[in-house]
């Protein structure tokens, strides 16, 4: 059985970036993915905006996406929200992304990924963070291999250092958890 992934734009996001993520996720994951792109962007929920920080609370964005897509996700179907705004969680200044496994939603926040990057580098960062967050949705934890896409990134330098690939150990965990039909 394929894992279903809906790539969902939230806020102002370039559709060509979503199509790139769709194609690369299906090609690079060690398990079979059925990836689709939503052409209907969701608006960012004002209730998740923190005016003093000028950022969105990532956990609230994920909950909002889950509520809007409740009929489309669940079981082996997940949502990957690509968000055109800056996000954070309590205790951190920002996040590149956040996975909420219990509700089947992960989000990736694009503004910081664009910093100091041409289009190719930005898209590679977007892909790495999308793979990372989807890996969490599929049950992976952070990896201690700094080259693995599942390693934790606290800066753009750390995102840039890791590969857009799972290490052998993480790939094996995915294959064991999500066998091909």
141 belongs to the catalytic site: no
In 3D, which of 38, 121, 128 has the Cα closest to residue 78?
38
Q: Considering 23, 24, 133, 158, which one is annotated as catalytic? A: 133
To 10 degrees, what angle do helices 15-28 and 119-137 make? 60
User: Could you write out the three-class secondary structure of 89-133?
Assistant: CCCCCCECEEEEHHHCEEEEECCHHHCCCCHHHHHHHHHHHHHHH
CB-based contacts of 110-119 (< 8 A; 24+ apart in sequence): 110/13, 110/17, 110/82, 110/83, 110/84, 111/84, 111/85, 111/86, 112/86, 112/156, 113/156, 113/159, 115/156, 116/156
The catalytic site residues sit at 133
């Amino acid at each position: 059985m394929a894992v279903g992934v809906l790539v969902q734009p939230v806020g102002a996001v370039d559709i060509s970036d979503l199509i790139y993520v769709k194609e690369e996720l299906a090609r690079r994951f060690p398990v079979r993915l059925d990836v689709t792109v939503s052409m209907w962007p969701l608006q960012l929920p004002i209730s998740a905006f923190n005016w003093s920080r000028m950022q969105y609370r990532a956990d609230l964005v994920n909950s909002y996406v889950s509520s809007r897509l409740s009929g489309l996700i669940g079981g082996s179907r997940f949502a990957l929200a690509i968000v055109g705004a800056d996000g954070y969680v309590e205790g951190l200044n920002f996040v590149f992304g956040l996975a909420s496994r219990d509700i089947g939603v992960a989000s990736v926040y694009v503004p910081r990924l664009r910093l100091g990057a041409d289009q190719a580098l930005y898209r590679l960062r977007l892909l790495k963070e999308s793979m990372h967050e989807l890996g969490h949705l599929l049950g992976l934890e952070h990896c201690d291999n700094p080259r693995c896409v599942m390693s934790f990134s606290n800066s753009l330098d750390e995102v840039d250092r890791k590969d857009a690939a799972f290490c052998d150990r993480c790939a094996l965990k995915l294959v064991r958890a999500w066998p091909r039909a």
